A and B are shown apart, each in its own frame.
Chain A
Amino acid sequence: MFGFLGPNGAGKTTTMRMIQCISPVTGGSLEVLDMDVSTCQREIKSHMGVVPQENNLDEDFTVYENLLVYSRYFDIPKDEAEKRVEELLDFVQLLEKKDVMTESLSGGMKRRLVLARALINRPDVLILDEPTVGLDPQARHLIWEKLRNLKKQGVTIVLTSHYLDEVEKLCDRLVVMDNGKILVEGSPMGVIEEFIGSDIIEAENNPELLECLQQKEAKYEIIGDTVHIYADNAREISEFLLMECSLSKISARPATLEDVFLKLTGRRLRE
């Protein structure tokens, strides 16, 4: 499972669309399943499932019909398709909504239906552009569980998400990108170790502390009225700081992907 992270407008969706053979590749080369995206569109797309960032369910049809009509685009024979539709609706727990028009589904239900739709052709590659956006915690956990299942079955999953805990838990490898460029690549743990260390100590910002940190040549960053001190061994360092630098309030916690993300892409809001 591979993750693409980056601030709004970084180019994640654009990258996903290139992998789907929809947006043209203007530079470099891109191969999916050992096939070139510019020449083997149909072949690639028949092995691919897509959950787009914006839901695009067919509002003219019911839940059941949505999947059945979609199965035809993949040339799946009707009786096989009917079997898969039942299975998939069960999989995403929408069986009882089967005959409801899609526009009257809740946001989370729509998202689950889009996921079911992406699986109708038993894809080898699954593209998920922010699959869990707008979902309640139950639905998110449900989807994570489904994704882990699919991963076990050998499906390659490419994911973008702004829920970094999700990416940290699910992805084997990831890139952080901004302005269409890759900033880092690696495993979630690897990236965290490389840029932050294993732990972060948060302390109140005051001039004495900064002076002390400078003397000790510690790695730190000032964020408003707190200071983040990057550490590989939190306990040792915090004890040391407590003794040496006369700190009042400090707390230590494991570093997360979010810390890496903010460090790499800055803390300013994107327009």
Chain B
Amino acid sequence: MNPVDYFSIPSVSSRSFKVWQRNKDVFIKNIKLNFLPPFIEPILYLLALGFGLGKFVESIDGVPYARFIAPALIAVSVMYASFFECSYSSYVRMYYQKTFDAMIATPLTIEDVIAGELLWGATRSMINATVMIPVIALFGLIDLKYAVLIIPFAFMGGLLFAAIGMCFTAITPNIMSINYPVLLFITPMFLFSGTFFPLSALPVPIQYFATAFLPLTHIVNVIRTLSYGMLSSSLIFDVAWILFVGIALLVLSINLMKRRLII
């Protein structure tokens, strides 16, 4: 494939919704198990880090520590939900269950199938955010003024991480190798994106690096600002970054998967 072809616009149809629907149906079958993590995890983190560790931490920019990390927990969950859905889970469906093979024998095309997977990944991010917001609100750690905006934003951020996960699915030689991007990309991002301490604590070059290349920094920024009940013009930059990179990676991921699956 010509390098330019990796960014040619794929022809996706509304049929990708059927793929989304298929994944939703499986999700509903195990709904209790699926709802547990976004419900339990924030409680554990808030108790251990927010209220435990938080006792020893001065307030950050005038905000108590628990209130500082609460929105980061949502952002991290947005990242994990769609990344893992479109990496390990999609890989299992593609390679082990051959679900994609069965689908492309119907009027669905490969583009539809991958688009449906990406949309579903983003939906999982949105579901997690939707469950976590009330849990965090119960602890009184979120201002509800703009909190509802976090939900559609979680979908948008979810699409970005879904695309990242799908790119790795398209190029990984086997399922074990997905551990590399997790170890070298996702985990560092979890720690160094202004999640548990502000970016400003890092050396300046690393701050620039994080802003330029770590998607999670932008997700954390937006969700944190909204959860403080504020809007700020800096959000435009974050959203623009997410949109630009997100769209590029969505297109790339579909083309990479096409290359992988058409033989």
* Known A-B contacts A69-B22, A69-B25; A52 and B107 likewise in contact (beta carbons under 8 Å): no
Q: Is the CB of B262 within 8 A of A52?
A: no
Q: Is the CB of B97 within 8 A of A58?
A: yes
Within 8 A of A (CB), among B34-58: none
Number of A-B contacts (CB under 8 A): 59
Q: Is the CB of A74 within 8 A of B105?
A: no
Assembled-state Cα–Cα distance A22/B18 (Å) = 19
Whole-angstrom distance from the CB of A165 to the nearest CB of chain B? 28
Whole-angstrom distance from the CB of A150 to the nearest CB of chain B? 17
Assembled-state Cα–Cα distance A65/B101 (Å) = 18
Q: Which candidate, A41-49, A170-178, A186-194, A249-257, is the interface stretch facing chain B?
A: A41-49
Q: Which one of B29, B104, B105, B107 has the highest number of Cβ atoms from chain A below 10 Å of its Cβ?
A: B105
Q: Is the CB of B106 within 8 A of A73?
A: yes
Q: Is the CB of B97 within 8 A of A59?
A: yes
Q: Is the CB of B201 closer than 8 A to any CB of chain A?
A: no
A18-53 Cβ-contact flags toward B at 8 Å (1 or 0): 001011100000000000000001110110101010
Assembled-state Cα–Cα distance A22/B262 (Å) = 7
* Known A-B contacts A22-B262, A61-B26; A73 and B107 likewise in contact (beta carbons under 8 Å): yes
* Known A-B contacts A22-B262, A23-B263; A56 and B106 likewise in contact (beta carbons under 8 Å): no
Please name the residue on chain B nearest to A48 by beta carbon: B105
Q: Is the CB of A45 within 8 A of B105?
A: yes
CB within 8 A of B262: which of A24, A46, A121? A24
Q: Is the CB of B26 within 8 A of A60?
A: yes
Within 8 A of A (CB), among B107-124: 107-109
Assembled-state Cα–Cα distance A72/B23 (Å) = 13
Q: Besides A56-B97, A56-B101, A56-B102, 10 other CB < 8 A contacts?
A: A22-B105, A22-B262, A45-B105, A50-B105, A52-B101, A52-B105, A56-B98, A61-B25, A70-B102, A70-B106
Q: Can you list 10 contacts pairing A with B, beta carbon distance less than 8 Å? A: A20-B105, A22-B262, A23-B263, A45-B106, A45-B107, A46-B107, A50-B105, A52-B105, A70-B102, A73-B18
Q: Is the CB of A58 within 8 A of B104?
A: no
Assembled-state Cα–Cα distance A48/B107 (Å) = 9
Q: Is the CB of A54 closer than 8 A to any CB of chain B?
A: yes
Q: Is the CB of B103 within 8 A of A73?
A: yes
Q: Is the CB of A57 closer than 8 A to any CB of chain B?
A: yes
Q: Is the CB of B99 closer than 8 A to any CB of chain A?
A: yes
Assembled-state Cα–Cα distance A43/B26 (Å) = 28
Whole-angstrom distance from the CB of A220 to the nearest CB of chain B? 43
Please name the residue on chain A nearest to B106 by beta carbon: A73
Chain B interface size, under 10 / 10 to 19 / 20 to 34 / 35 or more: 20 to 34
Q: Is the CB of A75 closer than 8 A to any CB of chain B?
A: yes
Measuring CB to CB, which residues of chain A are less than 8 angstroms from any residue of chain B?
20, 22-24, 41-43, 45-46, 48, 50, 52, 54-61, 65, 69-70, 72-75, 117, 121
Whole-angstrom distance from the CB of A33 to the nearest CB of chain B? 14
Residue numbers in B under 8 Å from A52 (CB-CB): 101-102, 105
Q: Is the CB of A74 within 8 A of B97?
A: no
Please name the residue on chain B nearest to A49 by beta carbon: B105
Whole-angstrom distance from the CB of B62 to the nearest CB of chain A? 48
Residue numbers in B under 8 Å from A46 (CB-CB): 106-107
Residue numbers in A under 8 Å from B99 (CB-CB): 56, 58
Within 8 A of A (CB), among B1-43: 15, 18, 21-22, 25-26, 29
Whole-angstrom distance from the CB of B102 to the nearest CB of chain A? 4
Please name the residue on chain B nearest to A46 by beta carbon: B107
Whole-angstrom distance from the CB of A42 to the nearest CB of chain B? 4
Residue numbers in B under 8 Å from A72 (CB-CB): 18, 21-22
Residue numbers in A under 8 Å from B21 (CB-CB): 72
Please name the residue on chain B nearest to A121 by beta carbon: B106
Assembled-state Cα–Cα distance A55/B101 (Å) = 10
Whole-angstrom distance from the CB of A55 to the nearest CB of chain B? 8
Residue numbers in A under 8 Å from B263 (CB-CB): 23
Within 8 A of A (CB), among B87-145: 97-99, 101-109
